[in-house]
Amino acid sequence: MIDNGYSEDSIKTLDWQEHIRLRPGMYIGKLGDGAAPDDGIYILVKEVVDNSIDEFAMGAGTEILLTVEDRKVTVRDFGRGIPLGKLVDASSKMNTGAKYDSEAFKKSVGLNGVGIKAVNALSESFEIQSFREGETKYVRYSRAKIVEERDIEPTQEPNGTKVTFLADKDIFGNYHFIIEYLEAMVRNYVFLNVGLTIVFNGHKFFSKRGLYDLLTENMNGEGLYPIIHLRGEDIEIAMTHGRQYGEEYYSFVNGQHTTQGGTHLSAFREAVAKTIRDFYKKDFDMSDIRASIIGAISIKVQEPVFESQTKTKLGSKDVGPEGPTVRNFIMDFVTKELDNYLYRNPDTAELLLKKIVETEKERKAMSGVQKIARERAKQVSLHNRKLRDCRVHFNTNHERKTESSIFITEGDSASGSITKSRDVNTQAVFSLRGKPLNSYGLTKKVVYENEEFNLLQAALNIEDGLEDLRYNNVIIATDADVDGMHIRLLLLTFFLQFFPDLVRSGHVYILQTPLFRVRNKKETRYCYTDAERENAIQKLGPKPEITRFKGLGEISPSEFEHFIGKDIRLEPVRISKGDSIDEVLSYYMGKNTPERQDFIIDNLYIEKDELR
């Protein structure tokens, strides 16, 4: 009989804070180091701000102060303030909160009394202070253990709550905040809460038109027709069609950005297509209606059911105990209000029809090419040497899907090294043959006619959008030289031209690999910059061996394990606010060679002057 040491001593009961620290992924998703917008440190900020947003939603406090200095985060709201006698319970007792009572918080995003406790448990320092009716109470924790608690005392401060925390390096490692990600979070908060002001690091954010402003901020150029903006009780939508390929959506529940969509987004997409079909009395293909659409939906739901504590996907079926399903609620609103809008705005209706008809013509013209390309992709996938797949894909369980990655690299030696050293469960490798085609200015037909692009699209499974994206992280892994940089630009051009939402949604990264290896007989250090190399030389003593890696193929599989494992360095590809994809691609990949040449020469001289 085999017992493998399994006895009463094997059964353990963890304190709540021990469980959070042992299994943080259950509470905040993946940890990360701040390079991705869904990394855990941003979830910590969101959990604290969400409580302040709920206060505003209940009519208490119209301003929130958010400050991020290096790694310290401070959130001050001017809501009702946590009842002073319950401040410790609210911040350190699991499943304790006011949101179980629907009268105190009718349509809140935080319902389980978990969020702020998770922040507490995962912070090396967590301070919380409540101001209420001329009195205040303060408590300071370290990893959810009280290190200082003050008695209730008088105060002149206005009502509200102040939280300051420093995320624990033991959990998050050498993390950092990217300001653009925090700004995007703040902007979404004000778009969804008209009348709320958030002061982030001294800058005020405010919105008058809600989701209309959200679309305006996030669109590259004007839509093909004026933004359709509709509001109802507990629902708001905005939509137009742009010039990009694919669909682009922003969905929210009770102020929570549901980045993975869910019941409400599916219903919205279905309702828009059905209403347009009925309005024009034409049986348009759904894909022709949705192509190039950019839309946003926000709903408020009592007792929302999310698929995880990170609340990125709505699973709710009901609006309330006696209410209609979420799907029916959205279908009824969109069907009535969008239909009315199109009747009242015939110019917009005409432009919308023109867009759908043009898309239909393009699709039919490409149908033969698409069919051949799909069949070719299926045949190749049976014995595809370009794709070395992994065992876990994006559409599996939540805890694993955020880990899945695909490395896009060039050349047999580089792809071979990565393939031998990767984690076969979560990391796939796609090998390019030479430099990809410059796809700028070409139609989507090239995606199907070009074998490399066709197979890459099939590997990612993004032909019809990101809903079935097979890898959460799409990582471009090329040499750190001119040719490698050119391949990066060509791949980014492909993604931005035909699948811009892949970049917008934060899925695309550049793999950072070391430029130097510095070692002696006792120690080896890998250096990513000249400064790191100089520091390593000093640390390792006289005359260490220094190797300059000229390409990925020169890095052995055993060494690659250091660079694509838990210490992987990824540089996210981001589209900054105000960037026009068309303008960026036109300048860097278009036929304006003299302009680019002048830019390079001017900046080369600047760099030389700085070096002097």
Sequence-distant (≥ 6) Cβ neighbours of residue 415 within 8 angstroms: 388, 407, 409, 429, 431
Of the candidates 417, 460, 448, 414, the residue with the CA atom closest to the CA atom of residue 434: 414
Q: Which domain holds residue 83?
A: 16-205
pLDDT along the chain (612 residues), means of 10: 57 69 80 85 92 89 94 95 92 61 47 73 95 95 93 95 95 90 93 94 95 89 91 94 84 83 88 96 92 91 65 57 71 95 96 94 76 62 69 58 86 84 91 88 83 88 82 90 88 90 88 89 88 90 87 82 83 75 76 74 56 39
Domain end, chosen from 362, 395, 419, is at 362
Residues 184 and 236 grouped into a single domain: no
Residue 315: its pLDDT value, please? 62
Residue 104: its pLDDT value, please? 40
Residue 215 domain-assigned?
Answer: yes
Residues 520 and 509 grouped into a single domain: no
Residue 70: its pLDDT value, please? 86
Residues 241 and 334 grouped into a single domain: yes
Q: What is the residue type of 93?
A: K
Domain end, chosen from 173, 205, 237, is at 205
Round to whole Å and give the CA distance between 425 and 277.
43
CATH number at residue 183: 3.30.565.10
Residues 352 and 492 grouped into a single domain: no
Residue 324: its pLDDT value, please? 61
Residue 598 domain-assigned?
Answer: no
Residues 266 and 192 grouped into a single domain: no
Residue 594 domain-assigned?
Answer: no
User: Rounded to whole angstroms, what are the CA distances from 407 to 450, 459, 570?
Assistant: 20, 11, 11
Residue 597 domain-assigned?
Answer: no
Residue 100: its pLDDT value, please? 40
Domain end, chosen from 142, 173, 205, is at 205
Residue 8 domain-assigned?
Answer: no
CATH number at residue 494: 3.40.50.670
Residues 46 and 152 grouped into a single domain: yes
Residues 274 and 335 grouped into a single domain: yes
Structural domains in the chain (count): 4
Residue 332 domain-assigned?
Answer: yes
Residues 355 and 409 grouped into a single domain: no
Residue 232: its pLDDT value, please? 92
Residues 346 and 388 grouped into a single domain: no
Please give the torsion angle defined by the CA atoms of residues 10, 16, 19 and 20, in that order, rounded to the nearest 10 degrees: 180
Residues 110 and 227 grouped into a single domain: no
Residue 401: its pLDDT value, please? 65
Q: At what angle are helices 346-382 and 263-280 packed, to 10 degrees?
A: 120
Residue 611: its pLDDT value, please? 39
Sequence-distant (≥ 6) Cβ neighbours of residue 472 within 8 angstroms: 394, 401, 402, 403, 404, 405, 507
CATH number at residue 282: 3.30.230.10
Round to whole Å and give the CA distance between 503 and 474.
9
Residue 592 domain-assigned?
Answer: no
Residue 368 domain-assigned?
Answer: no
User: Rounded to whole angstroms, what are the CA distances from 314 to 252, 255, 448?
Assistant: 9, 12, 34
Residues 229 and 201 grouped into a single domain: no
> Torsion-angle region of residue 56: left (phi > 0), alpha (psi -120 to 50) or beta?
alpha
Residues 356 and 431 grouped into a single domain: no
